[in-house]
Amino acid sequence: MNLQPIFPRFSPELIKHLVEIGQVVKFEEGDMLMRPGQYFKNSLLILEGQVKLYRDGDNGEEFFLYYLEKGNACALSMICAAKNEASVIKATAITRVMALAIPIQHMDELMKNHVQWYYFVLETYRKRFNELLEVIDQVAFHSMDEKLEFYLKRQFESLGNRIMITHQQIADDLNSSREVISRLLKKMEARKRIVISRNEITRVTI
C-alpha cells in the first residue's frame, strides 16, 4: 500500500521508516480497537476505513465523540502510549479498518528525528482537543434538537449524505431515548432537512 497520498505531509524517508518499524493490522467491522482500561503498546495510524470513538459512562452509557479516518492518528494512543497510561475511551471499527501500528518505543526517536512527525502529532492533538471542545459546547449550551442537528451534520460529513442508522443507535450516541429522537427527527423531516426511512436517514441538500 502506498502511504504517500494518505500522509501527504510526510517525507518519503519518514514513510519508509514508519513502514519499517510499524506493522499493518486489520480490523473487521464491529471490532473493538480500544477499550477503557486497556494499555497501549502501539500508536495507530489509520490507513483505511473508519473508527468511531466513544466515551463510556459509569453505568454503561455511551457518548459519541468523533470519527477517525484515513490519514488520522489516534491522539490518545499517542499520548497514552508515550506515558504508558490506560485508555479512558472506547473505539470500534465501523467499517473494515487497516492501520499501521507503531510500537511506542519508537515514539521518542521519531519525535526527535522527524520534524514532520512532530508537527503531525501536534496537529493531531490540536484537532482532537478542538473536537472535544465542540462536543462540550453542544452538551453544555444546546438543547436536544440542536445536539441532534449537530450530530447528524457530523455523521453526514464523515459517512456521506445517506447514513444507515436506527433511531435507537442515535439515542445511544447522544445518551437520550429512542422516542425523543424519533420525535425530533420527525420535526426535522417536516422542516425538510432530512428524509427518514427505515434504518436510513438522508440529508436534504436542496
Give the binding site for a second copy (CB under 8 A).
55, 57-59, 61, 63, 65, 75-76, 79-80, 82-83, 85, 88-89, 108, 111-112, 115, 118-119, 122-123, 125-126, 128-130, 132-133, 135-137, 139-141, 175
Q: By the criterion CB under 7 A, which residues form the site for DNA?
A: 143-145, 166-168, 176-180, 182-186, 196, 198-199
Grid cell locating 98:
487497516
Please report how close the Cβ of residue 75 comes to a second copy at its closest, in angstroms.
7
The torsion angles phi and psi of 142, rounded to 5 degrees, stand at -120, 155
**Cβ(73)–Cβ(18) under 8 Å?**
no
**Cβ(26)–Cβ(98) under 8 Å?**
yes
Please report how close the Cβ of residue 66 comes to a second copy at its closest, in angstroms.
11
| Total count of residues recorded for the chain | 206
Cα separation, 92 vs 30, in Å, equals 6
Residue 190 binding partner per list a second copy, DNA, none, with a CB distance cut-off of 5 to 8 Å that depends on partner kind: none
Q: Which is nearer to DNA, 125 or 156 (CB)?
A: 156
Q: Which is nearer to DNA, 69 or 149 (CB)?
A: 149
Please report how close the Cβ of residue 201 comes to DNA at its closest, in angstroms.
8
Closest C-alpha among 194, 161, 192, 163 to residue 64:
163
Q: Is 126 helix (H, G, I), strand (E, B) or coil?
A: helix
Q: Which is nearer to DNA, 99 or 185 (CB)?
A: 185
Please report how close the Cβ of residue 124 comes to a second copy at its closest, in angstroms.
10
Residue 178 binding partner per list DNA, a second copy, none, with a CB distance cut-off of 5 to 8 Å that depends on partner kind: DNA
Please report how close the Cβ of residue 192 comes to a second copy at its closest, in angstroms.
24
The torsion angles phi and psi of 96, rounded to 5 degrees, stand at -70, 135
Cα separation, 148 vs 57, in Å, equals 19
Residue 111 binding partner per list a second copy, DNA, none, with a CB distance cut-off of 5 to 8 Å that depends on partner kind: a second copy
Cα separation, 165 vs 141, in Å, equals 26
